[in-house]
Amino acid sequence: MTIKLLITGGTIDKVYDELTGQLVFKQTHLIDMLNQSRSMVETLSEVLFLKDSLDMNDADRALIFRKCQASDTNRILITHGTDTMVKTAKLLGKAVNDKTIVLFGAMIPCSMSNSDALFNLGVALSAVQTKECGVYIAMNGQVFDFNKVEKNKKLGIFTF
């Protein structure tokens, strides 16, 4: 079973820029994360773009949708920023019912200590292999149905 990994950015792929003091994108860390976690799952990755999810627009979400629809595999992981992850999941969930799609991200960049990125990747990898067709969000050690989840911005976690 091959899992398609669509990379769209989000905090998970940001790094600290010492010159500006900001978190920025340079490249994806997902392949390194898979190697570091010693994953033996066959994946095929594609970088669609590297954006903060607050900067994503309808055209970006349409691209994600088209890539999911066109995928030869029915198991898809999507990295995504947490601020609008639910919005994208709802768009996919209303239209895609013949594939298992799991969106995940991180509250702290993979490049920083105490990141939740590797843990969320592990949960997402397990979910995409075991869940029935549908759209899910894997965050905070839980797997949520696309239409039964929200981000609690005060606590910085996803809840039912």
CA distance 40 to 50: 25
pLDDT computed for residue 1 by the predictor: 85
Residue with tokens 């797997």: 143
Check if the beta carbon of residue 137 is closer than 8 Å to that of residue 53.
no
Exposed, middle or buried: residue 112 (CB in 10 Å: 0-12, 13-18, 19+)?
Answer: middle
Scanning the chain, the segments in alpha helix (DSSP H) are 30-36, 58-70, 85-95, 117-130
pLDDT computed for residue 112 by the predictor: 92
pLDDT computed for residue 143 by the predictor: 98
Task: Summarize pLDDT for 113-145 with one digit per residue, the tens.
Answer: 999 999 999 999 999 999 999 999 999 999 999
pLDDT computed for residue 97 by the predictor: 86
CA distance 144 to 124: 11
Take residue 142 and report the two structure tokens written for it.
Answer: 């839980």
Mean pLDDT, rounded, for 21-38: 92
| Its pTM surpasses 0.85 | yes
Question: Domains along the chain?
Answer: 2-159 (3.40.50.1170)
pLDDT computed for residue 47 by the predictor: 97
Task: Summarize pLDDT for 36-95 with one digit per residue, the tens.
Answer: 999 999 999 999 999 999 999 999 999 999 999 999 999 999 999 999 999 999 999 999
pLDDT > 70 fraction of the chain, expressed in percent and rounded: 100
Whether 107 has a pLDDT exceeding 90, the answer reads: yes
pLDDT computed for residue 103 by the predictor: 98
Check if the beta carbon of residue 74 is closer than 8 Å to that of residue 133.
yes
Work out the mean pLDDT of the chain and round it to a whole number. Answer: 95
